């Protein structure tokens, strides 16, 4: 999870129990608590995104070298691509 947080841009990810506790404390009633994706997992979507962003990251590095992209853009794509396998 710690290696995946840079991809998410998160510094803290609450647990499902924490979300449920907060919502019930606020008066909400939890009717359904299950994985919302069609297949039961989001990794297929992340895998597809990886196939797009890995080449974009490489191309952006080239654009940076010739002065057409910013270092911040390169850093962002590097952060997205660095630990994507752990995230999947």
Q: Mind spelling out the 3-state secondary structure of 8-56?
A: HCCCCCCCHHHHHHHHHHCCCCCCCCCCCCCCCCCHHHHHHHHHHHHHH
Gap between the Cα atoms of 43 and 20, Å rounded = 23
Q: Give the per-residue pLDDT at 49.
A: 79
Give the integer Cα–Cα distance in Å for 6 and 25.
Answer: 30
Residue extents of the structural domains in the chain: 5-87
Q: pLDDT at residue 36 above 70?
A: no
Residue 80: what pLDDT? Answer: 78
Average pLDDT value for the chain: 81
Question: Is this structure's pTM higher than 0.85?
Answer: no
């Amino acid at each position: 999870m710690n290696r995946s947080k840079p991809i998410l841009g998160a510094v803290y990810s609450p647990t499902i129990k924490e979300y449920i506790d907060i919502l019930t404390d606020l008066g909400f009633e939890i009717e359904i608590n299950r994985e919302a994706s069609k297949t039961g997992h989001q990794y297929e979507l992340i895998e597809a995104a990886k196939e797009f962003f890995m080449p974009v990251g490489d191309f952006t590095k080239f654009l940076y070298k010739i002065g057409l992209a910013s270092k911040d853009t390169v850093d962002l794509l590097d952060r997205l691509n660095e630990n994507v396998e752990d995230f999947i």
